[in-house]
């Protein structure tokens, strides 16, 4: 629902809808929405929306079994394209506000591509049958936890590629507790060494997010959650042999990261502070 609300906000504003007019009927707004729907990108959105609707029985009639790991190739390419397109928006000659860039994104093929990848990934995470689980996909393709990856993407879209509606305090803590548990499981899986880049990316995005939410007072009920993620990011930095911010940024780029991040100095300082803690302790 958090993602749906974010997407709806981005698509309704250019059509003339605001929070005070959403419930009213605007002929001009309806005309503009209709005109957009008959464009190529509007058709793409239709196909993705119909696919999502077809998956509702799978999503909401879930039997309670443990989610299967999902292929990273179904999600990360769309996230990388999204990152590149978002920061290209800031470099265009005609200056656009952050809000305009966000609105353009939610009406673009890029957002449909992201949701398409997430829908397919979620579908593959739901066990079909005990007999078919062992024969799904390429044995050599990298897979990771669906839950952890989805939360990390939400945090990434909240903090780095700022397209996501900010979490509310209670929703945020609940989400981070799930993320903490998921990362703990991931660290003890046999393929954890092969996923070190991803685990570092997930934990570091969490650290950036936690800093912001701590300033807003969202961590008052959970003071130990930030040290956990900082320790996790520190350990994965050690596993990857990251000595400098240049090394750390290269690891982030291997997953998804802007080449010219507007807050690069800030996140550089964040990573260095995490690593300095280890030096002080030792």
CA 222, 223, 228, 234 dihedral sign is: positive
pLDDT confidence band for 257 (50 / 70 / 90): very high
Specify the pLDDT at position 6: 55
Asked if pLDDT for residue 266 goes beyond 80, the answer is: yes
pLDDT at 135 over 50: no
Q: Cβ neighbours of residue 164 under 8 Å, at least 6 residues apart?
A: 2, 3, 6, 154, 157, 158
162 or 44, which is more confident?
162
Tell me what pLDDT residue 11 has: 54
User: Out of 43-52, 60-69, 197-206, 267-276, which region has the weakest mean confidence (pLDDT)?
Assistant: 43-52
d(CA 216, CA 212): 7
Is the pLDDT reported for residue 25 higher than 50? no
Name the more confident of 31 and 135.
31
| 237 pLDDT above the threshold of 70 | yes
- Is residue 137 left, alpha or beta, with left meaning phi > 0 and alpha meaning psi from -120 to 50? left
Q: Provide the CB-side half-sphere exposure for 118 (13 A, CA).
A: 21
Q: Which stretches within 92-224 are classed as H helix?
A: 98-106, 109-125, 146-159, 169-187, 196-215
Using pLDDT thresholds of 50, 70 and 90, give the confidence band for residue 60.
very low
What pLDDT does residue 238 have? 96
Residues 6+ apart with CB under 8 A from 220: none
pLDDT the model gives residue 45: 57
Containing H/E element for 253?
A: helix 245-253
Structure tokens at 185: 């499981």
Look up the pTM and report it: 0.77
Instruction: Report domain extents, the chain.
Output: 39-144, 147-282
Residue 8 — left, alpha, or beta (φ > 0 → left; ψ -120 to 50 → alpha)? Answer: alpha
**What pLDDT shows up at residue 134?**
44
Question: For the residues of 12-81, what is the DSSP string, one character each?
Answer: HGGGT--TTTTTS--HHHHHHHHHHHTSHHHHHHHHHHHHHHHTHHHHHS---PPPPPEEGGGTHHHHHH
């Amino acid at each position: 629902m958090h993602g749906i609300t974010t997407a709806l906000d981005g698509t309704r504003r250019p059509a003339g809808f605001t929070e005070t007019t959403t419930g009213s009927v605007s002929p001009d707004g309806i005309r503009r929405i209709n005109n957009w729907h008959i464009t190529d990108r509007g058709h793409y959105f239709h196909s993705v929306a119909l696919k999502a609707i077809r998956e509702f029985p799978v999503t909401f009639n879930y039997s309670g079994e443990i989610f299967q790991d999902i292929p990273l190739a179904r999600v990360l390419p769309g996230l990388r394209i999204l990152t590149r397109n978002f920061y290209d928006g800031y470099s265009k000659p005609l200056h656009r506000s952050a809000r305009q860039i966000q609105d353009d994104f939610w009406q673009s093929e890029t957002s449909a591509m992201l949701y398409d990848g997430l829908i397919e990934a979620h579908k593959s995470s739901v066990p079909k049958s005990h007999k078919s689980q062992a024969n799904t996909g390429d044995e050599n393709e990298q897979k990771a936890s669906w839950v952890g990856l989805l939360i990390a993407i939400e945090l990434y879209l909240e903090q780095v590629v700022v397209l996501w509606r900010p979490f509310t305090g209670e929703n945020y803590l609940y989400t981070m507790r799930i993320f903490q548990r998921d990362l703990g499981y991931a660290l003890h899986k046999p393929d954890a060494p092969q996923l070190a880049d991803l685990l570092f990316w997930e934990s570091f995005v969490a650290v950036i997010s936690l800093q912001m939410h701590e300033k807003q007072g969202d961590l008052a009920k959970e003071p130990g959650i930030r040290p956990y993620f900082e320790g996790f990011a520190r350990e994965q930095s050690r596993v990857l042999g990251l000595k400098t911010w240049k090394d750390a940024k290269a690891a982030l780029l291997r997953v998804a990261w802007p080449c010219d991040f507007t807050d690069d100095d800030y996140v550089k300082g964040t990573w260095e502070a995490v690593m300095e803690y280890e030096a002080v302790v030792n």
